[in-house]
Amino acid sequence: MHARRLRHVRAPSPLHFPEEALVPETKRHLDLRTLLYLVLKTFSDRAAIGSDQFVYWSASDPSRCLAPDAFVRLGTPDTPFGSWKTWERGAPELAVEIVSEHDADPQIWAEKLGKYHELGVLELVAFDPEAAPGERLRVWDRIDGDLVERVVEGERSPCTVLDLHWVVVPAAGQPAALRLARTPDGAELVLTPEEAARGRAEAERGRAEAERRRAEAERGRAEAERRRAEAEEAARASAERRIAELEAELRRRGG
């Protein structure tokens, strides 16, 4: 009702915030990004999850944007969205970049790092599958308004936003992939729905195999018991025949 009574000195000049861009992506990058997205989607009951959508943080400048390979905003419903505008939804706390050949340029990465600082993420993760082992995982934390790189050892480091652990392990047919784990050593990975279903199926097959072996063992014990009983019966019958023979022999001699 109030809007119909308002008057303005000029008509608005709408800004366009694109939701798509034609950016080439290698198959390996796609596989690694998809794996990470599926892992993060398991937290969609308590967070909004994005992957490769534009994230805008300036309502007056559409050029101020990034398209993280994955990002997380806690406490927000995971509803469909074409792009993410921080003035409507808040800034993501976590962002992940799977470094491509383009990003590997130090100057380009420095510019991107500055944008993430501007965006306001609390934790920024960069995974470079092309880097040497021990150098593939880098993490930055927002501390006192600054975005400071963390010391990472052994390609493992805490995920402070989700209270989990980042690990680099073989996955998705790749020698190295970025995964989340519930334990610092990476022994208990956060599984994708497909991995979890496969694990349940394997566990069910294991239980069925154990049941089959138990049934076979039970049949084996029953068969052994039957043979023992048959042997005892045969021995008893033989003993009875022998006793009868002896008694018959004694009667014959006594007669």
The string of DSSP codes covering the chain is -HHHH---SS---PPP--S-------HHHHHHHHHHHHHHHTTTTTEEEESS--EE--TT-TTSEE--SEEEEETS-----SSEEHHHH---SEEEEE--TTTTSHHHHHHHHHHHHHHT-SEEEEE-TTSPTTSSEEEEEEETTEEEEPP-BTTEEEETTTTEEEEEEEETTEEEEEEEESSTTSSSBPPPHHHHHHHHHHHHHHHHHHHHHHHHHHHHHHHHHHHHHHHHHHHHHHHHHHHHHHHHHHHHHH-
Calculate the CA 188 to chain-centre distance.
10
105-144 residue pLDDT tens: 889 999 999 999 999 999 999 999 999 999 999 999 999 9
CA distance 150 to 222: 64
- Return d(Cα 44, Cα 145) in angstroms, integer: 28
| Token pair belonging to 210 | 């154990």
Q: Quick check: 52 pLDDT over 70?
A: yes
Please give the model's pTM, rounded to 2 decimal places: 0.76
The predicted structure's pLDDT at residue 199? 66
Average pLDDT, the chain: 89
Predicted local confidence at residue 157, as pLDDT: 97
Mean pLDDT of 95-113: 89
